Amino acid sequence: MRSIAVISAVLLLSVLASAQDYSRLERSADRVKDAAEAVSKATGDTFQRGRQNSSDAIEQAFLAEQVLAAARLMEKIVNDKYDIGDLRLAANVLKELSENFPSTGGTWGALKNSIDSLIFDLAAGTAGPTTPPPATDDGADVDDSRILGRFFWNGEVDNEVHLTVSGTRITSEAISGRTLEEGTYSFTSALPRENDLIVRALKTDGRGIVSVIQQPNAGNDYSAVIRIKDEDGGARSYSLEIYWYKAN
42-56, 129-143, 210-224: which has the highest mean pLDDT?
210-224
CA torsion sign for 90, 93, 95, 97 is negative
Q: What is the mean pLDDT of residues 44-53?
A: 67
Percent of the chain at pLDDT > 90 equals 24
Q: What's the mean pLDDT when you consider all of the chain?
A: 79
Taking residues 11-40, report their average pLDDT: 71
Query: Mind listing the pLDDT tens digit for each residue in 64-111?
Result: 999 999 999 999 999 888 877 788 888 888 888 888 898 767 888 888
pLDDT value, residue 33: 93
User: Where does the chain hold its CATH 1.20.1270 domain(s)?
Assistant: 5-123
> What architecture does CATH give domain 5-123?
Up-down Bundle (1.20)
CA-CA-CA-CA torsion for 132, 137, 141, 145, nearest 10 degrees?
-80
pLDDT tier, 227 (very low <50, low <70, confident <90, very high otherwise) = very high
